[in-house]
Chain A
Amino acid sequence: MSDAVALAPRAASLNLGGWWIAPPLIVLALLFLYPLVLIAHAALVDDSGGLNFGAAWDVLNSRAFLNALLNTAEIALASTIGCVVLGLTLGLILAFAPFPGAPLVAQVIDTFIALPTFLVTLAFTFLYGSAGILNGALTSGLGLDHPPVDFLYSAWGVILAEVTVYTPFVLRPLLAAFSLVDHSQIEVACLLGARPLRIVRQVILPAALPAIVAGGSLCLLLTVNEFGIVLFIGAKGVITLPLLIYSKAIQESDYQGACAIAIVNVALSLALFSLYRFAARRLGG
């Protein structure tokens, strides 16, 4: 046997040394690292070509930036919580209390992933805007002078739109996780005396925890960086980091300030992504 192994021809392999890694590294550098370096350069190097942290520090120390950071965190967190709660509720109903047409409902919810974010916002404007269907019905029905529903042009409007757009990102992994839950575990738990809420809490949710963390993290990442919804709604006083970057770069032509904020935004995203990877690794066992 050992002779046979010794005599067997070695598998042919391309001897490229370490060069095989070059093409992906070049692509990575061109598409991702180079733009980042440009942004960092624009943020930290002044017109004379020397390092200058002063300008960046001024921007990052400004009230506008701190407000935007706070707004971004608040909206992203609230939206993510909303997405997780709504996704979980819908997922539990669709997976464990199916009704006629449930698969169709799941597919319709899925299609939201494919829609551009501003489209939902536009629909919200038609529905809940000051001249929207709801306000129109209320003002004419109740004989009011002003539209009574005005949440759309506040942070709540942004949160509602983001929850609507991003819930499928939680729902999809949750439905996949729920489909893997062993139904006999649920039945045995039920027969042992556990009522539905206990079964959800102690049997289903632990099994779906990696999916919740994955979906929630993805939502957090997307909502931190959401630009279209915030811009389209144009809520008064609701300036998030992406909107502040846009405002600095396009409206004020302050590219250095915009890049300084962009660096914070990138760092925030990478930190969230690292947290997600860490959680996924731990929970994935």
Chain B
Amino acid sequence: MSVSAAFSSAGVSVAEKAVPGSDVTFDKVSVAYRGAVVLKPLTMAVAAGEILAMIGPSGSGKTTALRAVAGFVRPAAGRILIGGADVTNLPPYERGLAMVVQNYALFPHMRVSENVAFGLNARGAAKDLVARRTEESLRIVGMSKYSSRFPRELSGGQQQRVAIARALAVRPRVLLLDEPLSALDAQIRRSMVEEIARLHADLPELTILYVTHDQSEALTLADRIAILKDGQLSAIGRTGELYRRPPNRFAAEFLGRANLLPVTVERSAQDGGFVQARLGETKVVVAGGDHPAGAERLLCVRPQNLTLTGDAERSNRIEAVLREIHWQGELTHLVAQIGESTLRAVATRLPDPPARGDRLAFFFSPADANLIVEDPGV
């Protein structure tokens, strides 16, 4: 059942379902444990109603940043503002937030309905409101008929739905999701990602801070993505833009696969136009960017943006020798050698597959590539 349908069948008005989200601001927030800095001064803003995904490898500081918002770790410096108010020194129970965690953290001795009602009771809500919100929240996540069960009687996916219902029931100012789908198997995870996306479509005012190490979850759900590395913000931007035009090597490689080929800038962009660069003996043209002539850069192009057929007049054309070819049902992966670099391409249809050792021409549009600095420090 979709969220909209659930609301309709619950008889919930638009006003009731609206969740007043708040913006979150990290103002030079740093966190240290016993003198070791785990989050370097972080300045970042999350708009009300936005889903911001914080991604990064283990130890990147993403969970620490989330826990600082929750109030579980006290920043060594800086401020955290929610809805414009400084909450840095507020205890977690006064921040008006809710969180869903990887292991669900349902209270095992409470039935599903009691779990969902917990936050409302803790906040001193009236009995009729508790009953109504509990029912609504369970209906939103499609768990109404399981209200009298204990968590141990539910599957992992069902438990996570209950955890989400419990968080939604208190109408949080910001919903914190800490790797909420990591414990689920791949198929259920995909379905839960879609459910969370639908949930946010129906609750557009809900601000969500979503921590994950899974870039596909982030790409599916997030309005914006913040990539952290070694306790530092490496890149932040709108999801599509960050994916298409990553600002640095780490962002390019962490957010999906990317071909990064060394090039020399020949002519910088004129009036926001195209940059001309040289890749070996081949000239390539890519869109935009502030790159002076003579600078060494990396040409970043995603494997799926390389094709074996193209309009030679308008596309970039690079030649490489096919080293490997892997047919994987829907997709065919091609690995080719260009100079000392490896070039990866993905094709959806290959009626006449090439053979290893073939010299192939790969095409890509100038708009599907960008130049990045080799090592910007993060």
Contact = CB atoms under 8 A, between A and B. Distances in A.
Nearest to A185: B105
Q: Which 7 A-B pairs have the closest CB atoms?
A: A192-B119, A194-B122, A193-B122, A193-B123, A184-B105, A206-B109, A188-B105
B107 interface: yes
B103 A182 contact: yes
A216 B70 CA distance: 37
Interface string A162-199: 00000000000000000000101101111111110010
Interface residues of B, number: 28
Contact of B122 (A184, A189, A206, A207): A189
23 contacts: A182-B105, A184-B101, A185-B106, A187-B101, A188-B98, A188-B100, A188-B105, A189-B107, A189-B118, A190-B91, A191-B92, A191-B97, A191-B98, A192-B166, A192-B167, A193-B93, A193-B119, A193-B122, A193-B170, A194-B119, A194-B122, A202-B118, A206-B109
Interface of B: 70-72, 91-93, 95, 97-103, 105-109, 118-119, 122-123, 163, 166-167, 170, 176
Contacts, number: 65
B72 A192 contact: no
Given A185-B105, A187-B70, A194 B118 contact: yes
B163 to A, nearest CB: 8
Most buried by B among A185, A193, A194, A206: A193
Contacts of A202: 107, 118
A207 B108 CA distance: 8
A181 to B, nearest CB: 10
A36 interface: no
Contacts of B92: 187, 190-191
Contacts of B101: 184, 187-188
Contacts of B108: 207
Q: Determine chain A's interface SS by DSSP, over half rule.
A: helix
B93 A191 contact: yes
Nearest to B96: A193
Contacts of B97: 191
Given A198-B122, A202-B118, A191 B109 contact: no
Interface residues of A, number: 17
B98 A192 contact: yes
A195 B95 CA distance: 12
Nearest to B124: A193
Nearest to A285: B152
A203 interface: yes
B105 to A, nearest CB: 4
Nearest to A186: B105
B149 to A, nearest CB: 14
A185 B105 CA distance: 5
Contact of A192 (B71, B91, B118): B118
A99 to B, nearest CB: 15
A185 B106 CA distance: 7
A190 B99 CA distance: 10
Given A191-B95, A193-B122, A185 B107 contact: yes
Most buried by A among B92, B103, B166: B92
A194 B115 CA distance: 13
A185 B118 CA distance: 12
Nearest to B150: A285
Nearest to B169: A192
Contacts of A182: 103, 105
B99 A187 contact: yes
Contacts of B99: 187-188, 191
A3 to B, nearest CB: 37
